[in-house]
Structure 1
């Protein structure tokens, strides 16, 4: 078996999966049926939680150099131009309280560059045509210009989009109760008096419109439309300008189009994300409206959740039962995104009594900061938690406001190591593997914990500073928080009992044997 994992699809989800696997020591092969990377802007908004996960790959500065930081989201009345609600991201609990608007080709270029640095080669013009699973691997058939080849791999990750071949080959399909929705999209240069630091969603009786500012004067515009005539694949610039004139109140003038297209979106999800040794992620597992810009982000977070589990099993360190938790944790998140984006799309087209209810809700969002902050946190996906997961173990009473097992690890400013130097959880997470945050004054106990963790990750001793550890982690005089490689808390303990850590590693993560140094 030459390759541990075959990743099908070299979009943001597939490349994130490959990079995370490679940095965790797994041999990865990436194939994509397209001969060249896409030039179409496609997904553009990267949320705070995704930015945090991309930090661990060392690519955030490169992404920021190609994109535009967005400070908030506004919902406007498309007829009057009046702002109904605004959600600012400055209170989002993240070291990156913003969205990054960046065209998908730029995201893919940065991730492909990082993959190459990690020794991963993206093979283009290569299509998966068949697969057959066995007890110890998957035999795949790959077709390229030179013909077909058969290869045996350990695992397959299908990140090959809404028309996923991998999904078809494992015999599953998207399931949903919604009719397809059609959108007209234009990637254009714009002239507008609207500030470029905000994403805007315009509500209108004829359908929603969205404006995503990109670098320079470039922007993405999206309009919900009736099904286009048969055989017509793209609107003209004049047609999307006419839509903007009506739904954006004449405030946006478009020129120099880079990409014009119609696309159709269903609101649907596959019943299972895991099929033996094959996994589905991103649009291969769930598709929905672009409202809220959550599609690519949900996929990137699928990748982060799956990669560390697959790496742990592929390297022979854990029982394959660990992989079931990928579906268990991520399927509910995908279902929630489908529901949320469906509601957001309906909000934009409401009329009559429904419009009155919508307007009241938007009034509350626009005038009650606490409500606005809650909606912003939901939209940017920082409220995602796995508290109900079997991988989330809490050996401590919950302190109000403190994180629990299953939550994303807090990263407050002002944390210090035991030697007094300041530190950020985000910086610590750039080291591959688990991160054990420990508060303990007994060096012998710390050494025992470090030995128990072994080569699975890094242990860092923290000192209490102005009550930060108590407020954010619930620690008293001692405690341990085990941060998973995807940034979420696996074990939270207000003691430093080595046996709790050992049981978590062997019984919860199903490690074959305790790690050793």
Structure 2
């Protein structure tokens, strides 16, 4: 048996698995990625990358390349599909991020950019390799991998199942998706379009027959999808004429499709696994939660799953932190997945409302469109910028700082450098205000990360009265926030909250 005790095996080379691979490799962990597909998919699949994911991709060194392949979309419109009248326009420009827009880009491009970044870090995707068996003990995971050359056995330290809605990893750990919703069927096209709608917005069309979505991609290309009745048994894809007929009814005749790249039907259930950690095996992305594509939350939620797990797994795999740290992955991300399932279900129901329900929907849409505070909260929520881990055991708050431990780290305009740029150096980021304790804090933090002095803009954003510090996790969230910069406060946090009990070993992280 091939023994690779210190290596993390990632099953699945989609955006979720590749995000985890890049972050783990940057943090100095050996990674192997296997993917059952012989060649990368050409199907556009997930197309909307939200602000929170862009911040992470920037810190990983992948965003600039991805932006060159996509389209920045600064707004979301909800449109009455019968009249073509916009019910509400949700401008994303006030979102508290350096990326106040959605990046619409086909999933194969996202995968290609992440695979290129992973290769730069020494991670190569082994294609045509399927996970066929899995058992584990206290010290590792034994797997059986199947390829064209037959089956082989190997042992890994940890396994991440990022292998999609039909996850083999999920089945092998003995869990299932659980949900209380009926499956929903969608017809989808990736095609070029002629339309009177400007490519400056993602548009959700409400209609009694079912919602529709229009995502503008680069050039004349767009993603179009409709909620539909179950297709005839054995039918896997609509024709272009059938998609056009749906558009004529639900998009007011304003969208004409041609040159299709991909036509498909797909079914979505709203469901989630009971937990995300099974000993040394973890589930992320669609392997852990599936739901409606409304709001373009699926891929982004999966990317954030990977971001949350990777830095914790790196610390444990390297013997720097106790394995108890990994329990926080499920504790922090499972509630987020549950919230996304609820939200996307509601969005889909909103798109199909009729009668009294439609009246209530229209009132709600009016409030979103005309009350700035409501609109801004809705925009930040869609961008996943309101997600927090305030209730996590990893979130420790001391004193009167304005920001709260567990929140997404503020990155205000006017700072000398973006937080995402600072996080491009692998590890934690400790932002310090006053006190003159930087040298002592660097000694405590060691090679776990970087210590920087807060400039005036950051100090104001964090609201420290005089002295203070904030430990920003590699996934961009605040772990420790204190109105003291005493080294003992940091030392206690590392030992107590992050479960540092392992040997402090030197690790060569890669930029």
Q: What pairs with 1:24-43 in structure 2 (closer than 5 Å)?
A: 24-43=27-46
Q: Is the 8 A contact 2:214 2:222 kept in 1?
A: yes
CA distances 1:471-517 after superposition (whole Å, capped 9, x unpaired): x2121221110000000000001111111100110111001158589
> How far did residue 58 of structure 1 move?
0.5
* Residue 406 of structure 2: aligned partner: 406
* Residue 230 of structure 2: aligned partner: 227
Report the Cα distance in structure 2 between the residues aligned to 1:319 and 1:474, rounded to whole angstroms. Answer: 33
Q: What pairs with 1:465-476 in structure 2 (closer than 5 Å)?
A: 465=457, 468-470=458-460, 472-476=461-465
Q: How many residue pairs are counted as aligned between the two chains?
A: 503
Assess, with a 3 A threshold, how the Cα gap between structure 1 residues 508 and 441 changes in structure 2: closer, same or farther. closer
Report the Cα distance in structure 1 between the residues aligned to 2:283 and 2:262, rounded to whole angstroms. Answer: 28
Q: What pairs with 1:39-50 in structure 2 (closer than 5 Å)?
A: 39-50=42-53
> How far did residue 462 of structure 1 move?
2.0
> How far did residue 464 of structure 1 move?
2.7
Question: Paired residue for 1:174, among 172, 177, 192?
Answer: 177
Q: What pairs with 1:45-64 in structure 2 (closer than 5 Å)?
A: 45-64=48-67
Q: Is the 8 A contact 1:22 1:120 kept in 2?
A: yes
Alignment partner of 1:128 is 2:131: yes
What secondary structure is seen at the aligned counterpart in 2 of 1:108? helix
Question: Paired residue for 1:425, among 419, 428, 436?
Answer: 419
Report the Cα distance in structure 1 between the residues aligned to 2:124 and 2:420, rounded to whole angstroms. Answer: 27
Q: Is the 8 A contact 2:320 2:505 kept in 1?
A: no
* Residue 434 of structure 2: aligned partner: 440
Alignment partner of 1:157 is 2:160: yes
Alignment partner of 1:356 is 2:346: no
Q: Is the 8 A contact 2:320 2:503 kept in 1?
A: no
* Residue 419 of structure 1: aligned partner: none
* Residue 76 of structure 2: aligned partner: 73
What secondary structure is seen at the aligned counterpart in 1 of 2:118? helix
Q: Is the 8 A contact 2:79 2:203 kept in 1?
A: yes
Q: Is the 8 A contact 1:506 1:513 kept in 2?
A: no
What secondary structure is seen at the aligned counterpart in 2 of 1:403? coil
> How far did residue 369 of structure 1 move?
1.6
CA distances 1:75-108 after superposition (whole Å, capped 9, x unpaired): 0000011100110110000011111000000000
After TM superposition, the runs of 4+ consecutive aligned structure 1 residues lying more than 4 A away are: 513-517
What secondary structure is seen at the aligned counterpart in 2 of 1:450? helix
Question: Paired residue for 1:457, among 433, 449, 455?
Answer: 449
Report the Cα distance in structure 1 between the residues aligned to 2:37 and 2:91, rounded to whole angstroms. Answer: 38
What secondary structure is seen at the aligned counterpart in 1 of 2:367? helix
> How far did residue 425 of structure 1 move?
1.5
Question: Paired residue for 1:293, among 272, 275, 296?
Answer: 296
* Residue 100 of structure 2: aligned partner: 97
What secondary structure is seen at the aligned counterpart in 2 of 1:155? strand
> How far did residue 351 of structure 1 move?
0.9
Gaps of 5+ in 2: 507-511
Q: What is the root-mean-square deviation of aligned Cα atoms in Å? A: 1.1
Q: Is the 8 A contact 2:431 2:471 kept in 1?
A: yes
CA distances 1:200-221 after superposition (whole Å, capped 9, x unpaired): 0000000000000000000000
Question: Paired residue for 2:480, among 481, 491, 496?
Answer: 491
CA distances 1:350-373 after superposition (whole Å, capped 9, x unpaired): 111101000110111111122111
Alignment partner of 1:307 is 2:310: yes
> How far did residue 190 of structure 1 move?
0.1
> How far did residue 448 of structure 1 move?
1.0
Q: Is the 8 A contact 1:452 1:514 kept in 2?
A: no
Q: Is the 8 A contact 1:455 1:515 kept in 2?
A: no
Scaled by the length of structure 2, what TM-score is found?
0.97
CA distances 1:183-237 after superposition (whole Å, capped 9, x unpaired): 0000000000101020000000000000000000000001000000000000000
Q: Is the 8 A contact 1:453 1:516 kept in 2?
A: no
Gaps of 5+ in 1: 416-421
What secondary structure is seen at the aligned counterpart in 2 of 1:135? coil
* Residue 509 of structure 2: aligned partner: none
* Residue 149 of structure 2: aligned partner: 146
Report the Cα distance in structure 2 between the residues aligned to 1:332 and 1:154, rounded to whole angstroms. Answer: 27
Q: Is the 8 A contact 2:188 2:223 kept in 1?
A: yes
What secondary structure is seen at the aligned counterpart in 2 of 1:66? coil
